[in-house]
Amino acid sequence: MQFRLVVTGVVVAMSLAGCQRTSYNPYSDLPSPAPLQPQPVPSVQSGQLPPPGAGDASQFPAAPATGNTAVASLPPGSTDAPATALDVTKESMVGNWRVSNAGASCDMFLTLTNLGSGSRGGTRGCAGELTSMGSWEVSGKTVLFKNRNGDVVGRVYKSGDTRFDGTTASGQQISLSR
């Protein structure tokens, strides 16, 4: 019985000896790099900031007016964007847009894949005319949304960096934002 314990102990000791790390580190012979020297830091100044509104007020733009703000829209059948419309490129339109139409929200997806005279697009969760949207194209400063027959179902123009406003073919206001 004691012989078995001795043999078991030797086998366990030999097994654990095989768990030692025996890998070779080629970098162990290299000298370690010298420590970095601290760099001088300029002195820090402290003081009290002036209260908000004090000083040069011209450095800040005027706050926007609050209350009801009207959004210009395109009249039904109109092909011209208002004079305030910003330039738009096809590439800037590609992607997902949040659409607000008749008080409801939905999603619009615009791609550069050719479809007829325009590019492929579609909506999800929209109501009314926008459910039939299948393509879109840029015409001047106006973006036209078309159904699968090529009929215009909506028009928008760029009114801000990430905002477009306009109307559907029936005259409902529509806005796109990211």
**What is the CATH classification number for the domain harbouring 102?**
2.40.128.10
Q: What is the largest distance, in Å, between two alpha-carbon atoms of the chain?
A: 103
In a domain, 72, yes or no: no
In a domain, 56, yes or no: no
Are the beta carbons of 115 and 134 closer than 8 angstroms? yes
Mean pLDDT (whole number) for 12-34:
68
Name the pLDDT band for 26 (thresholds 50, 70, 90): low
In a domain, 135, yes or no: yes
In a domain, 61, yes or no: no
In a domain, 68, yes or no: no
The per-residue pLDDT for range 57-78, each reduced to its tens digit, is 555 566 655 544 444 455 554 5
Number of domains comprising the chain: 1
In a domain, 127, yes or no: yes
Greater confidence (166 vs 34) lies with 166
In a domain, 136, yes or no: yes
In a domain, 103, yes or no: yes
The model carries a pTM of: 0.56
Q: Which domain holds residue 111?
A: 90-177
The per-residue pLDDT for range 100-145, each reduced to its tens digit, is 987 889 999 999 998 777 899 999 998 889 999 999 999 999 999 9
- Across all residues in the chain, what is the average pLDDT? 80
Q: Percent of the chain beyond pLDDT 70?
A: 76
Question: 88-95 long-range contacts, Cβ below 8 Å, gap at least 24?
Answer: 88/138, 88/141, 88/142, 88/143, 88/157, 88/158, 88/164, 89/138, 90/119, 90/137, 90/138, 93/136, 93/138, 93/143, 95/178
Mean pLDDT (whole number) for 139-159:
92
Q: Percent of the chain beyond pLDDT 90?
A: 38
- pLDDT number for residue 69: 47
Pairing of strands 133-139, 142-147: antiparallel
